[in-house]
Amino acid sequence: MAAIGLEQDLRLERDRRRMTRRAVEFAVLYFGLVGGYAALGSPGSPIPLLIVLSVAAHFWLRRQGVRADGLREQLRTLRAELPSMLALWIVAAIAIALTLAVFSPERLLSLPRTEPLLWAFVMVFYPLFSVYPQELLFRKFLFQRYAPAFGSGWVLIAANAAAFGFAHIIFGNWIAVALTLVGGVLFGYRYRRTGSLLVVSVEHALYGCLAFTIGLGGFLYHGAN
């Protein structure tokens, strides 16, 4: 019995050390690295670094044997989630449009009105080169890698949201951080519910494209004007 108790204690101690190591690693990767980049003045576009990190995350997931559902299954999940996703998105679009119309009418639909070709470019390439890598890094990799430190419930969702919001300090305004903190909670909750990278990428793309279309793009890319 004593030997069994000792073995259990050793296992618990190993688990605690693993949790601590993962928590420290999480802080360094999602806060230290981003904070350092921001401290340097956010030089250049973050997209190349984001892609490099997401590729590294992809290969780590493969080495761990993490496999996504097939495309057919993910499309089935997307169809099931789409009504609730769109209902919330419509409410958000109306609320943001009304807020801008009252407090900052010059921003409303500014990008499609003034630079329609650039707007079209963003609508096509933003989901591919920004949204998908972000979801791979902030949802699939984060949930898989750091569940030992935060569990699989709301603490993990909160950690994911904090990391996602903090990442947007590189744009130099509190609005970007606030919006993406809320987005991190929503996307984290959706990913925990579905486990689908496709579903959460579509939802992220809906809100990102809405932001660039409706007049918030300056906060989420170039910084507030």
Q: What is the pLDDT of residues 8-20, one digit of tens each?
A: 655 676 768 888 9
* 9 located within any domain: no
Q: What is the DSSP letter of 68?
A: P
Whole-number mean pLDDT of the chain? 92
Which residues form the domain of 88? 14-222
**167: nearest Cα among 75, 35, 3, 64:** 35
Q: What 3-state DSSP class applies to 40?
A: coil
* 140 located within any domain: yes
**Contacts by 37-43, CB closer than 8 A, 24 or more apart:** 37/170, 38/169, 38/170, 42/170, 42/171, 42/172
pLDDT recorded at residue 224: 43
pLDDT at 182 exceeding the cut of 50: yes
Per-residue pLDDT tens over the stretch 113-169: 999 999 999 999 999 999 999 999 999 999 999 998 999 899 999 999 999 999 999
Would you say the C-alpha torsion 69, 70, 76, 79 has a positive or negative sign?
positive
* 6 located within any domain: no
**171: nearest Cα among 102, 105, 217:** 217
Average pLDDT over residues 42-47: 87
* 65 located within any domain: yes
* 95 located within any domain: yes
Which band of pLDDT confidence, cut at 50, 70 and 90, is reported for residue 1?
low
Q: What is the pTM of this model?
A: 0.91
Would you say the C-alpha torsion 93, 94, 98, 99 has a positive or negative sign?
negative
Number of structural domains (the chain) is 1
Residue spans of alpha helices (H) in the chain? 2-27, 33-39, 47-63, 71-103, 110-114, 116-126, 132-135, 142-150, 154-167, 174-194, 197-214, 217
